[in-house]
Amino acid sequence: MKHEKLRQLLFWALCCDLGLFAKKLIAPAANLITDALHIPGGIGTSFSLLFLVIGACVVPRFGSGTLMGLVQSVLAVLFGMTGSMGILAPIGYIIPGLIIDIVLWAGRKSCLEKQLSCCLANMFSAAAAALTANIIVFRLRGIVLLLYMAVSLFTGAVCGLVAGRVVKRLERIIKTHEAKEVQQ
């Protein structure tokens, strides 16, 4: 395997793990907000998708988001982190990954800045995850569903903004590293 490809795979694996466990870490704080709003979630997922967006944006290949989502779903099933979705949990991981791929691909085609692409990708993937959870588990309607979706979109956009900044810094580091390698 080429050195570069191995590095990309390792980076994706790191993003998968960080995304999966970040959700667990942020859950107590996120639950405080969602409990106050009387909605069943939406914040933790947006935060965990930030890492998938970073992974898919730093290594821009179509399918990377879906692949990371797939790996996350396998890990979630193996570690018993499926939550209330149960055996259908993989759908809740793969669909947001696919949305990330589509939005980032569309962003590249229409020459959007990476920061805006990341913001939109995180936003729409969080909304897709919320919608999937609603169809499979919650079955919310009316104002509650609207609030749940709006919170997902809002936290997704904020996390996407953070993801965009992280991507910018990472790319600078990668470029410096590559320049050093060329010099050597």
Task: Give me 10's structure tokens.
Answer: 């390792």
> Given the complex with another protein, which of 68 and 127 has the nearer CB atom?
127
- Answer yes or no whether residue 139 interacts with another protein by CB under 8 A: yes
- Answer yes or no whether residue 37 interacts with another protein by CB under 8 A: yes
Q: Please classify residue 17 by burial: count the beta carbons closer than 10 Å to its beta carbon, then call 0-12 exposed, 13-18 middle and 19+ buried.
A: middle
Q: Please classify residue 100 by burial: count the beta carbons closer than 10 Å to its beta carbon, then call 0-12 exposed, 13-18 middle and 19+ buried.
A: buried
Task: Give me 44's structure tokens.
Answer: 């933790």
- Answer yes or no whether residue 35 interacts with another protein by CB under 8 A: yes
Residue from 119, 121, 129, 130 binding another protein (CB under 8 A): 119
Stretch that binds another protein, among 12-20, 63-71, 98-106, 156-164 (CB under 8 A): 156-164
- Answer yes or no whether residue 67 interacts with another protein by CB under 8 A: no
Angle between helices 142-183 and 43-58 (to 10 degrees): 30
Q: Is the dihedral of CA 25, 134, 129, 112 positive or negative?
A: negative
- Answer yes or no whether residue 50 interacts with another protein by CB under 8 A: no
- Answer yes or no whether residue 169 interacts with another protein by CB under 8 A: no
Stretch that binds another protein, among 58-66, 92-100, 135-143, 171-179 (CB under 8 A): 135-143
Residue from 18, 59, 131, 137 binding another protein (CB under 8 A): 137
Q: Is the dihedral of CA 137, 87, 160, 103 positive or negative?
A: negative
- Answer yes or no whether residue 90 interacts with another protein by CB under 8 A: no
Q: Is the dihedral of CA 151, 156, 157, 159 positive or negative?
A: positive
Long-range contacts of residues 6-10, Cβ cutoff 8 Å, at least 24 apart: 8/59, 8/61
Residue from 3, 38, 109, 169 binding another protein (CB under 8 A): 38
Residue from 67, 68, 128, 158 binding another protein (CB under 8 A): 158
> Residues interacting with another protein, by CB under 8 A?
34-35, 37-40, 80, 82-84, 86, 112-113, 115-116, 119, 123, 137-140, 143-144, 146-147, 150-151, 153-154, 157-158, 161, 164
